[in-house]
Amino acid sequence: MPTAEVCRRHGLSTATFYKLKARYGGMEVSEAARLKALEDENAKLKRLLADTMLDNVVLKDLLGNTLLATRH
């Protein structure tokens, strides 16, 4: 079956098909699932790090304002 037909049946563009093939083509299903789980975990950890960094900036700002207020 031609690639274009497979893509039509599954609602994919051919560009998406080839991108997925390049990414997951040589993997077993379990390997692809493990990669997806690791990517999801990595994204979650990046969000947590960003939140923590933002909290840190806010706390430093509050602490700085408190120290300035007590000096005057």
Q: Which residue, chain included where needed, has tokens 């509050």?
A: 62
The three-state (H, E, C) secondary structure of 52-70, written as one string:
HHHHHHHHHHHHHHHHHHH
Cα–Cα distance measured from residue 42 to residue 8, given in angstroms and rounded to the nearest whole number: 32
- What are the pLDDT tens digits along the chain (72 aa)? 899 999 999 999 999 999 989 988 889 999 999 999 999 999 999 999 999 999 999 999 998 877 777 766
Q: What is the pTM of this model?
A: 0.62
Q: What are the backbone angles phi and psi of residue 28, rounded to the nearest 5°?
A: -75, 165
**Which tokens belong to 17?**
């098909």
